[in-house]
Structure 1
Amino acid sequence: MSQLSEAVRTRVQQQANHQCGYCLSLQKYVLGILEIDHITPKAAGGSDNEENLWLACRLCNAYKGTQTHARDPVTNRNTKLFNPRQQKWVRHFVWSEDSACIVGLTACGRATVLALQLNNPYAVTVRQAWKAAGWHPPNFKY
């Protein structure tokens, strides 16, 4: 387990606006603490440098695991996963018409949706409930 300082953790949480960089789940609605994600996993040569860190919910972080690339279902090419620190979410993803699913707009987006299982049944059900409560889709600042 990484021994990150509390100052680094706090900066990353603030930079990420207290929401998952992949599915945009807000900390205030997630049961459990959002995790510090190594964008390039340490097992794949990533570091503890702040530039390699972002927030991820437990589901996204677990599905991502040590992956850095995944296959785009349209082009069938292996592509890098979305980097929430360097890339803009709205350039790679959009919400479905009912706001329950994340749709990949680019090869990177499509590969990330599949690799991180961003539309797994649990996530879709929770998003539907959040929408009914007026909490979804989230606004984000980065």
Structure 2
Amino acid sequence: MSILFPCHLVGKLEKENLCLACPSYNRYKATRQTAIDPNTQNEVKLFDPQQQLWADHFTWSEDTTEIVGLTTIGRATISTLKMNRLQLTRVRKMWVKMGEHPPNI
């Protein structure tokens, strides 16, 4: 399973600057570096998988079909990248039944 977050590449295009990303998340992110936390309405930086730990900003819902934001960064990232779209929660439910979800992040 790939990392589910887009990477912002800085500097030279080198192997250590690359990570796997979901194409739909990349479309929603586009060139954004910040977004609005839906709880506080504050503008915050989006999650950066090369600089931050997933578990510091996100967790899984009890049934592991939705990603839950633990921080302003997590909530803004989930909202902006539409990480809990109906299609994703449906496929996650199927993956849970198959024993393939949640991933070890």
TM tier relative to shorter chain: 0.7 to 0.9
- Amino acid in the other structure paired with 2:89: V
Equivalent residue number for residue 22 of structure 2: 57
Other-structure match for 1:39: 8
Q: Does 1:122 align with 2:83?
A: no
- Do 1:39 and 1:54's aligned partners in 2 also have CA atoms closer than 8 Å? no
Matched, 1:134 2:99: yes
Q: How much does 1:55 deviate? A: 1.6
Q: Which structure is larger by alpha-carbon Rg, 1 or 2?
A: 1
CA contact (8 A) 1:69 1:79 kept: yes
Deviation at 1:54, TM superposition (A): 2.3
Aligned residues: 104
Pick 1 or 2: higher relative contact order, CA cutoff 8 A, min separation 6: 2
Q: Name the stretch that deviates more: 50-59 or 101-110.
A: 50-59
2:3 match:
20
Cα offset for 1:48? 4.3
- Letter of the structure 1 residue corresponding to residue 8 of structure 2: I
CA distance 1:78–1:118, shift in 2 (3 Å): same
More moved, 121-130 vs 59-68: 59-68
Q: CA RMSD in A?
A: 1.8
Distance 1:84 1:38 in 2: 7
TM-score with structure 2 setting the length = 0.87
> 1:60: how far off?
1.4
CA pair 129-48 structure 1, distance change in 2 beyond 3 A:
farther
How big is the shift at 1:79?
0.5
> 1:134: Cα distance to partner?
0.6
Is 1:81 equivalent to 2:64 in the alignment? no
> More displaced, 57-66 or 108-117?
57-66
Secondary structure in structure 2 of the residue aligned to 1:123: helix
